[in-house]
Amino acid sequence: MIKVLVVDDSIFMRNMISDMLKVEEDIEIIGRAKNGEEAIKMNRELKPDVITLDVQMPILDGLSALRVIMKESQAKVIMVSNYTKDGAKETLEALKLGAYDFLEKPSGEVSMNIKDIKKELIEKIRNAKYINMGALKYTNIESSSEIFKKNTKEKDIKSKFEPIKFRNINKINNKDKIIAIGVSTGGPRALEEVLPKLPRHLQAPIVIVQHMPPKFTKSLADRLNIISDIIIKEAEDGEILKNGTAYIAPGGIHMLVEVINGEKKIKLDNKTPPYSGHCPSVNVLFKSIINIYEKNIIAVLMTGMGSDGAEYLKKIKDIGGRTIAQDEQSCIVYGMPKVAYEMGAVEYVERLNNISNKIMELIDINN
């Protein structure tokens, strides 16, 4: 039985979430709290397996409560957030602090919306058993907001956007390289470990699929851009790939790479249905780069539930591309990398804190 504590300042929302869960035979609601202070107390007394945690609450907000909960217990926390710009920022901060996942706060207005959210919530609660709390707590270090304060000096911002002669890679040749990354649950924190370590003179573009809803990917890109030397942005349809720039697929839209008039460009596809349940899909991205870059691909699979990306990571390895998977010990969820490894798709297994070094090593070897 999975013991769940529901935390929300709205009695309507507490009742709605409880009603979603109470009919499930393997889930038990053991408590309901209306603010962060109550949540901390009930967490200590009831010792839940999973906590659904609202962000904005009186007396003590969700982020403040989360800091205490992560220090005191092994409870797995799912943030319940509004899909707004501010909500996205707060949710990303919560993921940094130790929440393992999040979902949209039910609106109560559209029955289909509630039905979909119920299915998603139950799935996330059941998946809590796969969470590696060791990795979750290991990466729960300095708050991203503190990092931002150190990296937003005017001189840093200006130097980042000084022109670099070798950024454009418009002409097609057999030496062009690309770095492709696929990641899901635990991904924002994994990307925050890898991308800031890459140098701004990186001799390749980076394309990234992070399983996230719309609005969150833009906030994630902006957040990572501030703390990184390379440029990181949410991808736009038709833009030309540039070295030293990372492009994150927008939530809910497949991202591909295509060649038009001799130029490698981003293609955003909102018409193709989800691939194996995912949109954007890592497999769709990986498939699109194989014929363009062939063996000059460095493909990386990091923490995440399921198997997305494993299929085409194997094809990349088979044609001579270099493939990296995050190791089990540092994954918050050892799902996607595990499937890829078991398929024989992985050349290098690396701890999270060494993936950027391995990428640079392979870039230098290819040069």
Tell me what pLDDT residue 87 has. 75
Evaluate whether 249 touches 214 at the Cβ level (below 8 Å). no
Q: Which is nearest to 304 in space by CA: 182, 175, 196?
A: 182
**What is d(CA 209, CA 278) in angstroms, rounded to the nearest whole number?**
10
Domains of the chain listed by start with CATH number: 2-131 (3.40.50.2300), 149-366 (3.40.50.180)
Evaluate whether 84 touches 36 at the Cβ level (below 8 Å). no
Evaluate whether 324 touches 350 at the Cβ level (below 8 Å). yes
Tell me what pLDDT residue 89 has. 86
Secondary structure class of 245 (helix, strand, coil): strand
Return per-residue pLDDT of the chain as tens, 367 residues.
Answer: 999 999 999 999 999 999 999 999 999 999 999 999 999 999 999 999 999 999 999 999 999 999 999 999 999 999 998 765 667 889 899 999 999 999 887 665 544 467 778 899 999 999 999 999 988 876 544 444 444 444 443 334 434 544 333 334 444 445 799 999 999 999 999 999 999 999 999 999 999 999 998 889 999 999 999 999 999 999 999 999 999 999 999 999 999 999 999 999 999 999 999 999 999 999 999 999 999 999 999 999 999 999 999 999 999 999 999 999 999 999 999 999 999 999 999 999 999 999 999 999 999 865 5
Tell me what pLDDT residue 172 has. 42
Q: Which is nearest to 350 in space by CA: 129, 197, 143, 128?
A: 197
How close are the terminal C-alpha atoms of the chain, in Å? Answer: 54
The DSSP string of 177-197 is -EEEEEE-TTHHHHHHHHGGG
Q: Quick one: how far is CA 236 from the chain centroid?
A: 19
Place of tokens 């996942």: 101
- Report, as residue numbers or ranges, the catalytic residues: 184, 211, 308
Tell me what pLDDT residue 145 has. 40
Amino acid found at 266: I
